[in-house]
Amino acid sequence: METVRLTTAEAIVRYLVAQRTVIDGHDAPLFPGVFAIFGHGNVTSLGHSLAQHRDDIRTWRGQNEQGMALAAVAYAKAMRRRQIMVATSSIGPGATNFVTAAAAAMANRLPVLLLSGDTFQSRVPDPVLQQVEHPGQPSTTVNDAFRAVVRYWDRITRPEQILSSLPAAVGMMLDIAECGPAFIGLPQDVQAEAFDVPVAFLAPTVHTIARPRPDRRQVNEAVELLRSAERPVIVAGGGVHYSLAEAALSAFAERHGVPVVETMAGKSTLTHDHPCYVGPVGVTGCAAANRVCADADVVLAVGTRLQDFTTGSWTVFGAGAPIIGVNAARFDADKHRSLPVVGDAAEALAELTAGLGDHRPASDWSQRARREAQSYREYIDAIAAPTPREGLPTYAQVIGAVNRAANPDDYAVSAAGGLPGELNNGWRSKATATFDCEYGYSCMGYELSGGWGAAMARSSLAPTGETFVFTGDGSYLMMNSDLYSSVLTGHKMIVIVCDNGGFAVIDRLQVNQGGESYMNLLADSGLKEVIPVDFAAHAAAMGCHAEWVTTIADLEAAVVRARASDRTHVIAIRTDPHEWTEGGAFWEVGVPEESDRAAVRAARSAMVDGKRAQRVGW
């Protein structure tokens, strides 16, 4: 066997460079780049090899490990899992800064390869800088903290282990059912050790994503159930995007007359004006979609993990309506005793449509869904109208203004706070796969870091438009250094910062559940004085173009300037902390069973009432 003597780190980098994939018929690297923050745990070996291979794989220097790993998550989402970014950290705090981002990747079933330094296997120099020490478990390091937040975890204790570990990690990340983040810990000494690497291990390899077809019996049973349905509904989830199945789903819905509601991850499966589109479903959804789901007699759930914001904590679907779970992962397909159809979404829809032929339910159901969709549109038109109101502009008005100015090739990014619900309702998808509100983990800070990663991913695609990032003041303050990253690397975003004086959506939850406003809005935080943040000055200090606007008309003009900007452009606007888009479903949270506040007791009994509509296990 032909071999070449390389260090572990060098062999890893050469292996990553050799992995190729096919995107829209074109050859492309499977690992298009590496986000890196170096320290003593990775600079001398992995950093050395990355420097040697700078022309083969691009390394991007980050500002914060969590931020760069979140950028990697958004990158994978924008590429619909067809490319995977690597992120590398030093040992200790650099590594643990990754943990939150790994969980975001895990919840959203997105691939990211995390390579963190680890302490010496020899233990000779212990304790080393940043080693926390586990007196009773000497082989434990902080990297064990990743075990709960990744789909693949390994620590390379002998160089030869990479020969099996790297292909196993790649296999998992390309598997449509298993996909998630992979973590590999690289001890300082093992990274530097040389071994005889089989040349075949480093040979260029072209990967394609296998898209398994579902089991015939499952398809037949699902066809039977759909044929019996008088009022079917499709719940389109993020898996539709990962399967590149938007066109298949659109054709299926039209051919079989099935209305479509979308989850947060599934938003932009259909364009907003599609005849079968009803609207967003669930807690952050609209009344129209929730009504259609309540009356549906069969639910065709495609590529969704059915999280509580989709199901209204399991109150949105009628108690007797069976669910057909079309999903790549059996775990998701089986949920709530669904009739599982395990397989790729596009493949499964093709087989279901073949079985259904030209079957359609009676047309009054799709007419009803269209009327519902129309009522939702009219509601949004009314609340998003630019007409000046007393008080500050609302989230709905801000989103309406930006959306009116958006082109079909623009992309929207958000994650946490009140904006997800507002965007899910108010942002009209003008093209498919153009929306990324990270709501599997709803990770504050994803907005700006994810925006950077999405802009980077989209810059590799044939002409694309702007990346619009929507962030609240709270998320902005939690993590903003990737504004600077985007300026440095030239991956432009247009950022809308909505400053409503704090954690408004949590204040809303607190008050709606009978509590008093406390520690969410800055004004309720027991401070002598609330000193406002000058978000525009802050962003400008990091090299962005930045401005404040006060009215919706000003915002519209600013978006035009932002489009013309040659770099990340931040528009800050003060918004109303108390005005919300309505229409969402029930959501179960823990409300105290005992309290001396009458409002809390009332909220508790409303919660108990609401729970009566839950379908438990069925």
Ligand X SMILES: Cc1ncc(C[n+]2csc(CCOP(=O)(O)OP(=O)(O)O)c2C)c(N)n1
Binding site for ligand X (CB under 6 A): 416-419, 442-444, 472-475, 500, 503-506
> Which C-beta is closer to Mg ion: that of 46 or that of 497?
497
Residue with smallest beta-carbon separation from Mg ion: 472
> Which C-beta is closer to Mg ion: that of 176 or that of 419?
419
> Which C-beta is closer to ligand X: that of 100 or that of 434?
100
CB of 534 to ligand X, least distance (A): 16
Q: Is 112 left (phi over 0), alpha (psi -120 to 50) or beta?
A: beta
Tokens of 491: 């991956």
Do the Cβ atoms of 557 and 480 come closer than 8 Å?
no
Among ligand X, Mg ion, none, residue 505 binds (CB under 5-8 Å by kind): ligand X
Among ligand X, Mg ion, none, residue 443 binds (CB under 5-8 Å by kind): ligand X
Per-state percent for the chain, helix, strand, coil, to nearest 5? 40, 20, 40
Among ligand X, Mg ion, none, residue 444 binds (CB under 5-8 Å by kind): ligand X
Alpha-helical runs (H) found in 26-133: 48-52, 65-78, 93-96, 99-107
> Which C-beta is closer to ligand X: that of 135 or that of 590?
590
CB of 589 to Mg ion, least distance (A): 19
Among Mg ion, ligand X, none, residue 419 binds (CB under 5-8 Å by kind): ligand X
CB of 509 to ligand X, least distance (A): 9
Residue 485's CB: how many other CB atoms inside 10 A?
25
Residue 567's CB: how many other CB atoms inside 10 A?
14
Residue 3: helix, strand or coil by DSSP? strand
Partner residues linked to 23 by β-bridges: 26
Do the Cβ atoms of 303 and 238 come closer than 8 Å?
yes
> Which C-beta is closer to ligand X: that of 508 or that of 567?
508
Continuous segment of H or E residues that includes residue 171: helix 162-174
> Which C-beta is closer to Mg ion: that of 114 or that of 504?
504
User: ∠ CA 613-314-612 to the nearest 5 degrees?
Assistant: 20
Among ligand X, Mg ion, none, residue 373 binds (CB under 5-8 Å by kind): none
Among Mg ion, ligand X, none, residue 88 binds (CB under 5-8 Å by kind): none
Residue matched to tokens 């929730």:
290
Among ligand X, Mg ion, none, residue 6 binds (CB under 5-8 Å by kind): none
Name the phi and psi angles at 376, rounded to 5: -65, -45
Among Mg ion, ligand X, none, residue 287 binds (CB under 5-8 Å by kind): none
How far is Cα 557 from Cα 190, in angstroms, rounded to an integer?
56
CB of 418 to Mg ion, least distance (A): 7
> Which C-beta is closer to Mg ion: that of 473 or that of 547?
473
How far is Cα 406 from Cα 402, in angstroms, rounded to an integer?
6
Among ligand X, Mg ion, none, residue 442 binds (CB under 5-8 Å by kind): ligand X
> Which C-beta is closer to ligand X: that of 260 or that of 419?
419
Tokens of 70: 């979140």
Identity of residue 497? V
Do the Cβ atoms of 456 and 75 come closer than 8 Å?
yes
* Signed CA dihedral, 454, 460, 462, 464: sign only: positive
Terminal Cα distance for the chain, rounded: 57
| Interacting residue ranges for Mg ion, rule: CB under 5 A | 472-474, 500, 504
CB of 552 to Mg ion, least distance (A): 18
Instruction: Give Cβ neighbours of residue 326 (< 8 Å, ≥ 6 apart).
Output: 214, 222, 300, 301, 302, 303, 333, 341, 343, 345, 348, 349, 352
CB of 412 to Mg ion, least distance (A): 18
Tokens of 458: 């989209």
CB of 335 to ligand X, least distance (A): 23
CB of 506 to ligand X, least distance (A): 5
Residue matched to tokens 């050790």:
193
Residue 142: closest CA among 62, 65, 46: 65
> Which C-beta is closer to ligand X: that of 435 or that of 580?
580
Residue 199 is classified by DSSP as: G
Among Mg ion, ligand X, none, residue 418 binds (CB under 5-8 Å by kind): ligand X
Among Mg ion, ligand X, none, residue 506 binds (CB under 5-8 Å by kind): ligand X
Do the Cβ atoms of 433 and 246 come closer than 8 Å?
yes
Among Mg ion, ligand X, none, residue 416 binds (CB under 5-8 Å by kind): ligand X
CB of 93 to Mg ion, least distance (A): 28
CB of 474 to ligand X, least distance (A): 3
> Which C-beta is closer to Mg ion: that of 311 or that of 500?
500
> Which C-beta is closer to Mg ion: that of 466 or that of 473?
473
How far is Cα 15 from Cα 5, in angstroms, rounded to an integer?
14
CB of 65 to ligand X, least distance (A): 15
Identity of residue 146? F
> Which C-beta is closer to Mg ion: that of 120 or that of 548?
548
CB of 498 to ligand X, least distance (A): 7
> Which C-beta is closer to ligand X: that of 416 or that of 571?
416
Identity of residue 361? P
Q: Classify residue 533 as exposed, middle or buried by CB count within 10 Å of its CB (0-12, 13-18, 19+).
A: middle
Identity of residue 116? S
Among ligand X, Mg ion, none, residue 405 binds (CB under 5-8 Å by kind): none
CB of 378 to ligand X, least distance (A): 25
